[in-house]
Structures are given as C-alpha cells and as structure tokens.
Chains A and B, each alone.
Chain A
Amino acid sequence: MDKLKDFLLKKFKSSSSEENSGGVKVVFIKELADQLSSIRCLILFALIALTGIVSFYSAASNIGAVSEDSGANFILIRLFATSGTSLPSFTWFLSLLGPLVGLSMGFDAINAEQNSGTLTRLLAQPIYRDDVINGKFLARLFILALMTFALGGFVAGMGIILTGVAPEGEEIVRLLIYLLLSIVYMAFWLALSMLFSVIFRQTATSALSGIALWLFLTIFLPIFAGMVADTLYPITDKADALTQLNNIRIAQGISRLSPSTLYSEAAITILSPSVRTLGPVLMEQAYGAIPGFLPLGQSLLLIWPHLTGLIAGTVIIFGITYTLFIRQEIRA
C-alpha cells in the first residue's frame, strides 16, 4: 500500500513539475497508431464483435419469452445478460473473451521492444521511463474503451431496432455503467499482461503465462471452488440448511477471487434490475420481499465491492508493473 502511495505521489509530482517531458503524449500517439494498425488487435475485436452481435441477436429474437417472464421493463439492457435459445449471453462472451483482448494487447508491450533493441534507443531520448510505460498503458486503455463503446453502442442500437422500444434514462445510465465495468475488466487483464511483458524477456513466455492464468481464473477456479466447498461441507441428503449455506458461501468466496466471477456478478446485477442479492437467499429472507426492480442506487451498492475490487486489482498490478519497469536494468 505504501508503494502505491509513493507511486501516486510521484505521478502527481512528475505531472505538476515543469520538468514534464511531454513524452507520454508522443508515446501514447505512437502506440495508438501501432495498435490500431495491428492485425492482432483487429482479429480479436472482430471475434468479440461477431460473437457479441450474434448472441445479442439471438437473445433479441427470443424477446417474447423474456418479456413474458418478467415484464418489458429494462428490456434493452436485460438483453445483454440474456441467453438466446442456443447461445450464451453477450455478457458471458465478453467475460470469456474480454481477457483475451486485454492479454493480446499487452503481452509484448515491453519485452518486444527490449528484444528488438528499440527500448534502449527510446530510453536514450529525453523522456522519463514513466512516460513509456504510462503512454503504452493509456493508449491500450483508450483503445479498449473505444472498442467497448463502439460495440456496446452498436449492439444497443440494434436492440432498439429489434425491440422497437426506446430506452429509458436509467437504462442508458445502467448501460454506461456496464460498459465502464467491461472496460475495467479488460484493463485488469491488460495490466496483468503488461506485468508479464516486463517480467519475462520472451514474448512467448509472457503470452503463455497470461493464457495460463486466464484459463485458471476463468475456467478452473469456479470448478475448483465447487470442489473445495463440497469437500468441506458435503451436500448429502441429510445435509442441513447451515451446511448448504456454508457450501455456497465457500464456493462463492473462492470463485470471487476470479475477476471473471466479479465481472459476471456485477454485470448481471447492473443489467437485470430484478437481481436483488448476490448471495444465497433464505426462505425467511425472501418471504415478504416485494418482487420488483431494484433502484439504480441499490444496484450500484450491490456491485460496489466488485467494481472497486477490479479497479484496485488493476491499479495494484499496474503499480507493480510500473515499479518493476522503472527499476529494471536496461540490458538484463
């Protein structure tokens, strides 16, 4: 935490002092152009856009069933979290593929330049090392934001046309929050992959480490969580309510270590105002509850820990990346 404070303080100082080299802007623009013209970036965006649009379309075609279930309120944003007849939801795809976008953007951010010898030349110019890492991160973040808003906007527009329902004000706010959440989620993976690009000298190593961690966190951790919970609190025929409750709590606690769980939970909450709680609900709690929609403030309150968790994770990982990069021996 101290390091983080140091880091923020230093940032503040370097941006306010007149010694500001302005290098961050130059690096930012160059990296932006690089990313926008990179085929890798294009392919992943196409992949996400395609799966997203198809899944959303399939959910929208299923709209009759959806509105029958729970009314037509917030129908547009609910479509993001609704699975179609044969396809998982838009949110599900984004939670699975979003990390890949982040990873693909960052895994060779530093080490590729190190290997090609451009990093030494870059750092021999009158700019701070901060400028290099910040410029690279910000440019990628900007593209993530651009992609997300473009895709989100497109899909929402498609939804309006398909459903023929104009969105309410709150719906738009919820959609924006959802898109921001998606950006933060992908930024987490971006920061992680940039960390790997600083730690590992080989781009293949950093790419594989990123993918391994992605597989572990998005796919294996939830399975693993269930296994641990079942071992500690086995659910048998005669298991009492407390055991069942503990089982769920453990499973949820462990799987919340995964950013994709955090993302999915938060996304569902913000997109489906009918979601009232993210934990297990006891009969006595549910008894007397008035069915209806949670106000925006309450939904936000529910996902606040998720959002801050993801942001804090991103900031901490980027802080570590930053510190390692600043201290790195240039030829090591």
Chain B
Amino acid sequence: MNGQNIIEIQNLTKRYGSITAVDNLNLSISKGEIFGLLGPNGAGKTTTILMLMGLSEPTSGSISVAGLNPTREPIKVKRIVGYMPDSIGFYGDMTGRENLYYTAKLNRIPEERQDDLIDSLLAKVGLKDAADRKVREYSRGMRQRLGVADVLLKDPEVVFLDEPTLGLDPEGTAELLDIITELGKKEGKTVLISSHLLHQVQAICDRVGIFVKGKLVAAGTISELAQKIGGERAIEIKASPIEAFPSDVVRSMPGVNSISMQNDMIVIDGAGHELAPKIVRELVAQNMDIYHLKIRGSDLDDIYHRYFQEGGASSNG
C-alpha cells in the first residue's frame, strides 16, 4: 500500500442479483483530502461507501482503509471511520443527548470525557437548546445536525458523509461546510462526501470523482477535469453598452470559433482560458463595463453534465 493513500480501492465490483451497482472501481484517496463523490441517483455512491465501511460485502475486488480490510477487520475500521448514512435515523423516544450517549458508549469513550465532548459537539452543530428534546420532535434538518455530531463523536480519522446537506437550511449548510473544511484542512482528516449539490462540492472538495452507472467516469481536481473536457469551452460575458462590443476584433483573434448572443449575454466559443484576458483587455479599451465573465466548462456544473451525458448517454441522454 502507498503510505500516502488512506483509502485504496482496486477493481471493486458489487452486484445485487443482475444489477451491477459498482462496476470495477479503482480509486485512491490520500490522507487529509476532501473528496467529492458525484453522480446521478442509483450511480453506486452509497453502495461504495457501505463497502468501505465493511457494512456490505464486495462481490469482488479489494479495499483498504488505513491499511485495513473492511470486510475482514470491520471493527478496527469502524473505530477510525465515521459514517453518516443518507437516511440517518435516531431513536425517537430518546433525546438527542441520550442518542449521543449511546453512540459514545458503543465507541467506548471514557465516561469522564463523555459529558464535555457531547456538550461541545451539540454546541458545534447548533443543537444546544434542543438537546434534551426527544428526537421524535426534531425536524429533518435537526436530525441531520445531530447526525453530524454523532459522526464526530468518535473523533474519526476518516469521515464518510452520504448527502450530508440534505434538509439543512442555508445557514446549516454553510456551518456544515465549515465543519468539513476544518476537519480536512486543520485536523488533517480525510473526508469523502457524496452529494448532488455541485456548488458546495466545488467549494470544499480537493478532488471529485464522477460516478455513472457504477463506473467512475472521471476523477481529479476540478481544473484537471475541466482541462480534460476542454476544447469546446466558451466564454460568456455580460457587458454594456452592448453596441460597443468589438465583434470584428474578437472574431479575428486566434482560437475564436464563433460569437453569438444568448439572452443578454455574449457567448464566444473557443479556447476560453487563453482568450479571456485578451478579450477583457479589448473590452476595457472600448470603455465597456463588464458585469459578468465566466469560462464555461471550468465550472463543476458544466463538467458534471458533460460527463453525465457521456456516461449515461444510452438511457438518460
């Protein structure tokens, strides 16, 4: 095993009867990395996480989490890995605090440390006031917050979060993203997040992997992925006055394929990265005010849709 990679997945396959949920997956994640797992519904993200936790047995292939095999040494893996399931459940007739105490006991956290630890975690996720209410009375988002506290309780080395922002309000989402970033950047924990919210993933993940139908169709940093699908990138610009736009000059720049208007935006198709500064300079020279400029394809939205279309072309288009 590579000492750098805390998670190492090789040729991992999981079949449920005739359905192949995960198809020959290869992936390494290094220590301290925040990795985003993207993909449409049913792509196999949850299945992969379950196998990493040793909660589900792979049909074939090998997994190593911190040098441990989750199928053979599930307890050791579960000691260092925190997992927040996508449909997280708590005991409804116990209070939030009682639920956390149960988790603490299961993790054999010394009794004298439990009180402080639980108090501080409840404060961290903003549940201080609701801590002694029955979980039955919690809202969806409150449960989710409790889930975050529950995962952090064992002070995990590696954290798997399956759609952690589901049901959180904008503030809760921002707080959670802060917590995750802190885990990764400050505490050097490895975080694996599955999510459908691309902007959040883009904001906090070091690398992302895109799953389609059980296959990892792409993995890397966002700029790497953007580079890979490059070639057809376009620049969109909002500027005024629109009449001042020097279309002839721009058209004659090397690398520009075409210019078009979409709504109130000028879209210049071509090699975006090299062109953008030149075009901006030109517009400024024309005394135009620039309100918006974006290189299409450098954004996770564009990358995702591109890969999704390629990977799922046969059925989802």
Contacts and interface: CB of A to CB of B under 8 A. Distances in A.
Interface of A: 19, 21-23, 26-27, 30, 37, 113, 116-128, 329-331
B133 interface: no
B94 to A, nearest CB: 9
Given A126-B154, A331-B50, 14 more contacts: A117-B89, A121-B83, A121-B88, A123-B55, A124-B53, A124-B55, A125-B78, A125-B106, A126-B107, A127-B106, A128-B74, A329-B56, A330-B50, A330-B55
A257 B99 CA distance: 43
A117 to B, nearest CB: 3
Interface string B116-154: 000000000000000000000000000000000010001
A331 B46 CA distance: 10
A124 B85 contact: yes
A128 B75 contact: yes
B50 A23 contact: no
B121 to A, nearest CB: 15
B108 interface: yes
A23 B79 CA distance: 12
A121 B85 contact: yes
Contacts of A124: 53, 55, 78, 81-83, 85
A329 B106 CA distance: 22
B55 A121 contact: no
9 contacts: A26-B106, A117-B89, A120-B87, A121-B88, A121-B103, A124-B85, A126-B78, A330-B56, A331-B56
A117 B88 contact: yes
A37 B94 CA distance: 11
Interface residues of B, number: 30
Contact of B91 (A19, A118, A331): A118
Contact of A116 (B92, B105, B108): B92
Contacts of A120: 55, 85, 87, 89
Interface string B74-115: 111011011101011111110000000011011110000000
Contact of B106 (A37, A117, A126): A126
A219 to B, nearest CB: 34
Interface in B37-58: 46, 50, 53, 55-56
Contacts of A113: 89
A123 B103 CA distance: 11
Given A22-B108, A330-B56, A121 B75 contact: no
A22 B154 CA distance: 16
B164 to A, nearest CB: 14
A116 B106 contact: no
Q: Closest 6 A-B residue pairs measured CB to CB?
A: A117-B89, A125-B106, A126-B78, A124-B83, A126-B79, A118-B89
Nearest to B108: A22
Nearest to A117: B89
Contacts of B16: 329
